[in-house]
Copies of this chain bind each other. A is one copy, B any other.
Amino acid sequence: MLREDVPYFDLTSRVMDLGGIDAEILFTPKSDLTVCGTEESEHIFSMLGAKTSLLKKSGERAVAGQTVLRAYGNAEQLHMGWKVAQNILEHFSGISTRTRAMVDGAAKARSTTEICGTRKHLPGIKHLSLKALCAGGGYPHRLGISDSVLIFSNHYDLLGGIETVCATLPDIKAKCPEKKVAVEVESLDHAVLAARAGADIIQIDKLPHETVAAIVAEAKAISPSVVIAAAGGINASNAEAYAAAGADVLVSSWMYFGKPADYKVIVRRV
Report Cα–Cα, A197/B6, bound state, in Å.
Answer: 28
- Quick check: which of A65-73, A99-107, A136-144, A238-246 contacts chain B, the rest being far away? A136-144
Interface 0/1 of A226-258, CB less than 8 Å to B:
010100000000000000000011000000011
How far is the CB of A115 from the nearest CB of chain B, in Å? 12
Residues of A that sit less than 8 Å from B by CB: 1, 4-16, 18, 21, 23, 75, 79-80, 82-84, 87-88, 91, 112, 114, 116, 119-128, 130-131, 134, 139-141, 143-152, 154-155, 157-159, 165, 172, 174-182, 200-201, 225, 227, 229, 248-249, 257-260, 265-269
For the A-B complex with A8-B127, A11-B179 known, give 16 more contacts whose Cβ atoms are closer than 8 Å.
Answer: A4-B124, A11-B147, A12-B151, A16-B151, A21-B158, A75-B158, A79-B145, A80-B145, A88-B123, A91-B122, A154-B265, A158-B268, A177-B249, A180-B200, A257-B258, A257-B259
